[in-house]
């Protein structure tokens, strides 16, 4: 037995939501998903099934013009499951790597050739809806992004004189520090790109880079003062605590934790391993 109350049919055990109201609830959920993700290819099973049902009705001519318009306003396309799967893969890639710069030969964990799909997508003529989906995800339409950051790196070195780039470094409005970390992690670094970085002396090890920067500061000190007896509290004009660093090198050598290569480099500058009490001040 059914009772009618405020336009909603109720049974004795549970409410029966009318089709129109149920459709509105699903559509509202899709609106929320699109607002937060920028596309309409949800990974949520229930919402994904509902969209598939709308596509089936559309193909069979059973979806009203009003609903077609509502769904299309969110960027819903009526076919192409392959596109949907790759959009989800691209979104997963971005969560891991932080961007959509997929290397051309990249193969995903599921064996899908996502890099090839991205390369082809750049060359294809796409519908406005698909372009909007990719834009919302931060898709890189130009494969020249790496070259852009490489040029930034070269300018940074010319301006600062070294590769002292922290992970939060922003240079000329770009997050150069994040890019440098990805290069050191090997993400998207082809043999050709590695060769270009090697050519400009890019330090692949961040700790090695920091040590070399301090060593360069010591070399400048020697050139300016004629000796390597750095006062313990000496700070360079660039803010490098060179005195503290020199003290640390002595400590590491005494503990046997300074590599022979570094000892040799310091010896070449006549570094003072056992300074007198007056020299250490």
Give the pLDDT means over successive 10-residue stretches in the chain (281 positions): 37 56 92 80 83 87 89 75 86 84 84 86 78 83 80 90 82 88 77 88 86 89 94 88 94 92 93 76 51
The CB-side HSE value for 54 (13 A sphere, CA atoms) comes to 25
DSSP run (H or E) holding 9: strand 8-10
- Is 244 found in the same domain as 211? yes
**Are 132 and 154 part of one and the same domain?**
no
pLDDT for residue 278: 58
The predicted structure's pLDDT at residue 13: 44
DSSP state of 110: T
Give the domain-ending residue among 120, 137, 154.
Answer: 137
Domain around 164? 145-199
> Considering the domain boundaries, does residue 186 fall inside one?
yes
Residue 34, in any domain of the structure:
yes
Q: Look at residues 156, 178, 199 and tell me which one is the last residue of a structural domain.
A: 199
Total tally of structural domains belonging to the chain? 4
Is the domain of 97 the same as that of 62? Answer: no
Residue 224 in any domain: the answer is yes
In a domain, 273, yes or no: no
pTM of the model as a whole: 0.41
Tally of residues, the chain: 281
- Specify whether 150 is located in the same domain as 122: no
pLDDT score for 94: 86
What's the pLDDT score for residue 224? 94
Same domain, 261 and 211: yes
105 and 53 together in one domain = no
- Bridge partner list, 38: none
pLDDT computed for residue 185 by the predictor? 81
Residues with Cβ within 8 Å of residue 164, at least 6 apart in sequence: 209, 210, 213
Residue 105 in any domain: the answer is yes
Q: Which residue has the tokens 């064996």?
A: 111
Rounded to whole angstroms, the Cα distance separating 61 from 57 reads 6
Same-domain check for residues 212 and 261: yes
Summarised one tens digit per residue, pLDDT across range 242-274 is 999 999 999 999 999 999 989 999 999 999 999
- pLDDT, one tens digit per residue, over 159-183 is 887 787 877 888 888 889 888 988 8
Assess whether 54 and 98 both reside in one domain. Answer: no
C-beta separation of 251 from 262 below 8 A: no
In a domain, 246, yes or no: yes
Q: What is the pLDDT of residue 4?
A: 36
Residue that is last in its domain, among 157, 172, 199? 199
């Amino acid at each position: 037995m059914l009772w009618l109350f405020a336009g909603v049919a109720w049974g004795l055990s549970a409410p029966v939501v009318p089709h129109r109201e149920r459709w509105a609830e699903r559509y509202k959920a899709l609106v929320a998903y699109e607002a937060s993700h920028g596309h309409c290819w949800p990974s949520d099973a229930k919402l994904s099934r509902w969209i598939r049902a709308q596509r089936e009705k559309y193909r069979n001519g059973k979806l009203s013009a009003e609903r077609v318009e509502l769904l299309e306003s969110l960027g819903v396309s009526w076919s192409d499951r392959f596109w949907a799967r790759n959009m989800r893969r691209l979104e997963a890639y971005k969560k891991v790597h932080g961007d959509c710069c997929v290397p051309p030969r990249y193969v995903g964990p599921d064996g899908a050739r996502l890099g090839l799909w991205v390369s082809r997508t750049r060359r294809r003529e796409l519908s406005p809806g698909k372009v909007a989906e990719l834009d919302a995800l931060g898709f890189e339409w130009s494969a020249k992004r790496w070259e852009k950051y490489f040029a930034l790196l070269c300018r940074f070195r010319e301006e600062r004189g070294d590769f002292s780039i922290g992970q939060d470094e922003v240079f000329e409005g770009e997050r150069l520090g994040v890019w440098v970390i990805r290069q050191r992690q090997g993400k998207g670094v082809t043999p050709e790109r590695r060769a270009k970085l090697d050519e400009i002396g890019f330090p692949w090890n961040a700790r090695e880079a920091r040590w070399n920067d301090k060593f360069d500061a010591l070399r400048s000190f020697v050139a300016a003062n004629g000796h390597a007896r750095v006062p313990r509290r000496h700070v360079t004009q660039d803010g490098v605590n060179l005195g503290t660093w020199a003290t640390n090198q002595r400590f590491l050598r005494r503990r046997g934790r300074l590599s022979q290569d570094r000892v040799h480099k310091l010896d070449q500058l006549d570094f003072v391993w056992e300074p007198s009490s007056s020299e250490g001040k």
